[in-house]
Amino acid sequence: MNQDRLRFDLADLAEEVTPVDLRDRALRTSRRLGLQRAAATSAAVLVVLAAATGTALAIRPNSQTPVPAGPSVTVTAPPVEPTPTPSAEPSSTPSTSPSETTGGGPNGDATFGRLVYGPSDLANAPSPTSTVRLQSWRPGDDPVRLLGLPYGPAQVNVSVSPDGQRVAWVETTGAVWVSAIDGSGRRKLRDGVDDVCWSPVWLPNSQQLVVRLNAGGDDPATGVLDVSSGKFTRVTGLDGCHAVFAADGTLAFADGSDGTIVLTDRNGRARRTVPGLGTKGSRYVSFDLSSLSPDGRRVALLRIDRNGTYGDAARELLVNAVLDTRTGAEVSLPLEGRQLRQVFFQPDGSMVVRVRSGDRYTVVLVDANGKKITERAEPSALRDMQIITAGP
């Protein structure tokens, strides 16, 4: 990365930011789970351990005051039950594209990996304690039903490890759990974990999680939780929301105070922001990102007009843009007139692009240069779900 060209002066940035009250965002617009809680964050600079060795990533420190605005609901590890079937989302412009097309991009040998789906955020969503199942689908095969979880964490914070073998989630009681992706070996790691702003984030080694403790208290602590031992190591100054790791250790997160997306490298000496987001004079802000390319050079996120409606502080996996993290330029995608819904980077750098036409969803395989390789129509059983990861 060209660190010198993209590094922002923190002092100048502090003068330029436009504060955004995430608590107000949550209380005004959140439909999710009846959770009227916000993770109000200030300008964030992080320090994160980026590998099993405990290597630290330095990040911009500041205060944060997550404020719970409603009572917690006690949830226990649920039995595995069938997924409820909510109604379909509104239609959009139809498409005339075929269900499968093969392109000739330079990465034409790229293939779809296993996609893991969780429930969408729907107007007629079930209660937070209703049990739903995650599902996986490898285009060309039939969907496979996975473990059952309460709807709450399944919708807002469940996380699949980079190797695709394990799942972590935080229940509304604040208990963080981990299991194999089929539900076996389910165990609780600890209590008192944030379940809204800072979902459990897997490090690239698939052995550790970054979590935030005591999120609603006076002294929140964010750090690394070892999945095998349950040992928590506090990392001073870690802040922000909705962090994602790249395979090379690059970390990106949403700075909730001004709508910027911040990135840092393993050494913490290349801290930078994505140009054109959140800074004074920019048109757009972003508070939600869902995926980072393996080399940290592209990010899939929800980009919002500065004067638009920001939504709530919970995780949002909807995507309307892929940006070059060095220049802020938008990456062109082969949508063919269809509505962009989600984008996830695969380990080889290719993208799974989910598009919608009417009530039909299609996943498009796109190479690292934005060229279409192939596409597959999704099974109708996945229509009311969202992709939560694209893995091996």
Q: What distance in Å separates the CA atoms of residue 267 and residue 48, rounded to the nearest whole number?
A: 10
CATH number at residue 339: 2.120.10.30
Q: Burial, 314: exposed, middle or buried (Cβ in 10 Å; 0-12, 13-18, 19+)?
A: buried
pTM (predicted TM-score): 0.74
Q: What distance in Å separates the CA atoms of residue 287 and residue 169, rounded to the nearest whole number?
A: 21
Question: Is the distance from CB of 230 to CB of 223 less than 8 angstroms?
Answer: no
What's the number of domains the chain is made of?
1
Q: What is the pLDDT of residue 256?
A: 79
How far is C-alpha 390 from the geometric centre of its chain's CA atoms? 12
Q: How confident is the model at residue 35 (pLDDT cuts 50, 70, 90)?
A: very low
Question: Is the distance from CB of 134 to CB of 147 less than 8 angstroms?
Answer: yes
Q: What distance in Å separates the CA atoms of residue 263 and residue 273, rounded to the nearest whole number?
A: 6
Determine the residue type at 51. Answer: A
103 has a pLDDT exceeding 80: no
83 has a pLDDT exceeding 80: no
Does residue 43 belong to any structural domain of this protein?
yes
The mean of the pLDDT values for the chain is 76
Mean pLDDT is lowest, of 136-150, 217-231, 253-267, 280-294, for: 253-267
The string of pLDDT tens digits covering residues 41-75 is: 333 333 333 333 343 333 333 333 333 333 333 33
Strand, helix or coil at 277?
strand
Of 220 and 242, the one with more pLDDT: 242
**Which residue segment(s) compose the domain that 280 sits in?**
3-70+92-391
Percent of residues, the chain, with pLDDT higher than 70 = 70
Question: Is the distance from CB of 97 to CB of 115 less than 8 angstroms?
Answer: no
Q: What distance in Å separates the CA atoms of residue 371 and residue 234, rounded to the nearest whole number?
A: 42
The string of pLDDT tens digits covering residues 290-334 is: 999 999 999 999 999 988 777 667 899 999 999 999 999 999 999
Q: How confident is the model at residue 14 (pLDDT cuts 50, 70, 90)?
A: very low
Does residue 87 belong to any structural domain of this protein?
no
Structure tokens at 149: 């979880």
Structure tokens at 300: 């899939």
> Mean pLDDT across the stretch 122-135?
88
Q: What is the pLDDT of residue 269?
A: 56
Does residue 84 belong to any structural domain of this protein?
no
18 has a pLDDT exceeding 50: no
Please state the φ and ψ torsions of residue 251, each to the nearest 5 degrees. -115, 135
Q: What distance in Å separates the CA atoms of residue 76 and residue 300, rounded to the nearest whole number?
A: 33
